[in-house]
Amino acid sequence: MDKLLVHGPCKLNGTVKISRAKNAYLPILAAVLLSDKKIHLKNIPELQDIKTMIKLLQNLGVTVTKNGNITTFDASTLNSHEATYDLVKTMRASIFVLGPLLARLKKAKVSLPGGCAIGTRPIDIHLTNLEKMGCVIHLTGGYVEASVPKMKAAHLLLSFPSVGATENLMMAAVFAEGTTTIDNAALEPEIDDLAHFINAMGGNVKGIGTKKIEVTGVKELKEATYEAIGDRIEAATYLMAALATGSDVRIEEVDPAHLEFVTELLKKMGAKIETGANYIKVEKSVLKGCHVDTAPFPGFPTDAQAQLIALCTQVKGSSVISENIFENRFMHVPELIRLGAAITLKGKSAFIEGEAKLSSAPIMCTDLRASAALIIAALCATGTTEIQRVYHLDRGYENLVDKLKTLGANVERIK
């Protein structure tokens, strides 16, 4: 298994280009199943989760060809409605194929994703609302088996603004006769992106960017070309790495509006941040602690909580960060403590003392974003930190080592 060696402390300097968002492309790839016309997607990031989703599409019969930075998907060859356990168990986002398979084939058999490192993550909101659209669902042998004689437009009210459920239901409604309303929909930018993609394919989604999304069924879709938004969580990670290491970094190809809560919080902490149409520039700053709760968009993203904790170990004063989205999302904390951080966990809050003198230790990645926090801390720590289980990072950070090296970090990956 590969390891990362971070020879710290490191200063970063220069420009980093952000990849297209994993969490935008995962549902967009699933939505490819809706169409029997060719779909051309630009700059799909080379990430393990994306490879898993593409493999899942190929297993379902989709033909995939790559030409330069454009990958073409032809789902006219779709010949299966079954997403098997061997792929689904490695990536929860496989559940995204449920809605489009039901919309296109009127049947789907998708393995239940099960729990994951950060929490139990049920899919009840996906399933109860699909039932409201006329789907008949049975859970048998670890699989969701669903069929629908005719998908019905319906008024859906989500009990929580689940990102995945909003996306799955939006895709399920693309051909349903009439208008489906998804009330209390999630507001994350990746949802807007999926809606824009569905519209680019000839679908009819309105209320984009609001809590009430309306999907009016269409008879057929058309050939389309699309490129997803920049990855706001990757950008937040580089932003916090720059601030933690007292560096000047320009982060390009991301929409700063997608990170407004994060940049406003960091500015209140003392960060010198400038934003433009497609970039965020950060300068070496003296920061103080913060009190923040993770929340659905436009609040502070749970996917940047671990990285913020790592940053808060380096600021002046103490911080309190509470996790409200997932029940078990502090696995980075014991690893950060191994590097010398002073953090106490109480219930869903982490209490962090700043100005910790971090020094190297062998540490281990536990999930994707926890791993990003460990990299930030290792960049601040004195000595060589060995980070194990880097496959977690491969799920969500494209060219991480190269990007960090371009910024001047002394980082290497060893087999």
62/123 with CB nearer ligand UD1: 123
Residue partners of 187: CB distance under 8 A and separation at least 6: 161, 209, 210, 211, 296, 297, 298
- Catalytic-labelled residue, pool 116, 290, 312, 380: 116
Q: Give all strands (DSSP E) within 203-309, no chain letters.
A: 204-206, 212-216, 224-227, 248-252, 272-276, 279-283, 291-293
13/184 with CB nearer ligand UD1: 184
Task: Sort strands 82-83 and 63-67 into parallel, antiparallel or unpaired.
Answer: unpaired
Alpha carbon 94 to chain centroid, angstroms: 13
Q: If you ran DSSP here, which 8-state letter would residue 209 be given?
A: T
23/237 with CB nearer ligand UD1: 23
Indicate the length of the chain as a whole number. 415
Q: Which of 305, 297, 265, 292 is nearest to 119 (CA)?
A: 305
CB of 356 to ligand UD1, least distance (A): 26
Q: Are 371 and 393 in contact (CB under 8 A)?
A: yes
CB of 26 to ligand UD1, least distance (A): 5
Binding site for ligand UD1 (CB under 6 A): 23, 26, 93, 119, 121-126, 160, 162-165, 186, 190, 302-303, 325-326
Give the span between the Cα atoms of 338 and 153, in whole angstroms. Answer: 53
CB of 35 to ligand UD1, least distance (A): 21
Does 116 qualify as catalytic in the annotation?
A: yes
Alpha carbon 397 to chain centroid, angstroms: 10
The secondary structure of 339-406 as a DSSP string is: TT-EEEEETTEEEEESS---B---EE--SHHHHHHHHHHHHHSBEEEEEE-THHHHTT-TTHHHHHHH
Give the span between the Cα atoms of 376 and 242, in whole angstroms. Answer: 9
158/380 with CB nearer ligand UD1: 158
Give the span between the Cα atoms of 197 and 42, in whole angstroms. Answer: 12
CB of 156 to ligand UD1, least distance (A): 12
78/118 with CB nearer ligand UD1: 118
CB of 138 to ligand UD1, least distance (A): 17
164/354 with CB nearer ligand UD1: 164
**Residue of this chain nearest to ligand UD1 (CB atom):** 164
CB of 361 to ligand UD1, least distance (A): 27
- Report, as residue numbers or ranges, the catalytic residues: 116
